[in-house]
Structure 1
Amino acid sequence: MLSHRKVYDDDQRMFRQSVRRFVSSEIEPNFERWEAAGIVDRELWRKAGESGILCAQVPEEYGGIGDFRFNAVVIEECSYAGFAGPTGNFTAHSDVSCGYILDYGSENIRKTWLPRMVSGEAVCAIAMSEPAAGSDIRGLRTRAVRDGDDYVISGQKTFISNGQHCDIAVVVAKTDPAAGSRGMSLFLVEADRPGFSRGRNLEKLGHHSADTSEIFFDNVRVPVTNLLGQEGGAMAAMMAELPQERLIIAVASIAAAQKAFDITVDHVRQRRAFGSVIGDMQNTRFKLAELKAELQVGWVFVDQRLAELVQGELTSDRASIAKMWVSEMQGRVVDQCLQFFGGYSFMREYEICRLYADARVQRIYGGSNEVMREIIARTL
């Protein structure tokens, strides 16, 4: 990764060393076991909380640091280490779900749950996607019907990161089906409420150690006080929060792409073919030169957008550009890097194989890249 990046100060640089130690001591020794199991140990969350790497953007009064740049450091280090599963776990909790509670939860909700999320005592998921509603969230069918001082929630969600471990979930449901995009609301739902159930842990192409589940709501009653923001305000809230989610996907993508590039440079310096080191061949050098250029351009662009996010200036279209371009670039980089490994690249035991599989979803979640193109096109 580029050194002396202006978006970070000395506090984040010191924090980066702490995150690297955590990744080395707590994730690396267990990673293959978690990949095989399809889920991390719950203990990882407590240890991550103790190390201060969860929900760092939360203000100090709730136990955090108060600066999203620390979140970005966590994702960069986990992604560069090649651990996409735990990266996805942490992202769903810290970078996606947390913002809805921090920005739209009542003071009582914030005081109750944010310190627990920071400490790792409570794991949070965000329940938006449904079998018939992915990038087009307006097609969701989950309903929340007001009944006195409660809402009664019924429906099904799928592809939910942290679905097996979550203690709470930020849930999107329709409160007024006739109102279109203004008829959706956000709720905080505790996983121990009657009617809340988890489906199977889904098997995926990549990100194997990130538990991803179906979640079911069978007349789950939550108090009106669990409403996040205003009734009917879900779409506005999501439009405000999604740029951050899309930027962090770009952060994860470029760090993982950099890792693929770095291990490939090391590989071609050692591998021989036709009597020569393949790293000395012009085709190899030119291909890697192109990838290096793309990576350096990408890092600068991502850092610019991260600075805008911290300053409250990140727009939806610029976040969409970052998510679209960097995730597409990651695909190009990892595909070309895999080619240099030859037949070994197709073996799961080789890291480049896992990096290739893990990269594919980056172009899908957080809003597919086709949706990103539509958002960008609206600004033309």
Structure 2
Amino acid sequence: MSKRAYNFNAGPAAVPLEVLGRAQAEFVDYQDNGMSIMEMSHRGAVYEGVHNEAQSRLLNLLGNPEGYKVLFLQGGASTQFAMLPMNLLAEGQTAGYVKTGSWANKAISEAKLVGDTFIAASSEDNQYKSVPNLANLQLPENAAYLHLTSNETIEGTQFQEFPDTGNVPLIADMSSDILSRQLDVKNFGMIYAGAQKNLGPSGVTVVIAREELIQNSPKHIPTVFRYDTHTKNNSLYNTPPSFSIYMVNQVLKWIEEQGSLAGIEAKNREKAQLLYNAIDNSGGFFRGFADTDSRSNMNVTFRMASEDLEKQFVKASEQEGFVGLKGHRSVGGLRASIYNAVPYEHIKALVDFMGEFQRKNG
């Protein structure tokens, strides 16, 4: 390998090079057991040690909140869109959703198939360029929960603070910004996230939930879709995505080495500021999509004067080793996903490329 790509993919996304190196060293023979972690029984002591260590390490990074459980599930956030109302939306209740863009809309669509829902707040009128202010949110007495998407990967918006929902559990899809900043988990009833953006490779979905929410699922739900099934079996009811969980554990170790969440947050803010400054100081050649106060530190979305110019930019960037800068097909434009594992040096290289492209085409 002569050179690492500048990986700005939205997911699956960059994995820390140090983690890839450690995994490579252990890939064929994990800790002198004569086989790869992928080949081991999920019922064996060696794998269970990795499994439990990953759960413990994740909770430790989040401050060891009392009364919370970590589940390792499959099916991505898309499966959680359905599992959540199946498990927590009882007859006579209604589920609240904050409508902020593409992924929030998918969660809402699935919930409507299960039971009654309502839109608690929306930024649709602003073309999803912002997240709504939830400071004065009013929830009905029969609200089962309030769901929000903490970071919209496609539109490039992010909640900078979260509402106090009182006795109503706050549920967050944090697939694209989990462990990117400091967070008080006790404000949430549940957090879930696909691993493929900030936690490791695709294949495992992390759920962090108050145990009281996931201990007694409705009996009519198929067994594998019940949270209490996975709670009682320590996420080992069926064969888990063992290699993905092993990789999550390695990424969690790497986050600890970066100064835990405080260190990661500082680095992410520095990276995002560098890129947003380049956009804002381009004299309008590049234009940020999201409103300034709602900008994501994970997914930087921007436009240019025309689609033809954007296509030229993407083509030229690919020739220089940049990957993943084309915006999502549903909204177009440009997007740089700068998750935890994307180094500052890669952002700097992108900014330099943007300046050179503008010099030639401005």
What is the TM-score when the length of structure 2 is the normalising length? 0.27
Considering Cα pairs closer than 8 Å and 6+ residues apart, tell me whether 1 or 2 has the greater RCO. Answer: 2
Q: Which has the higher helix share?
A: 1
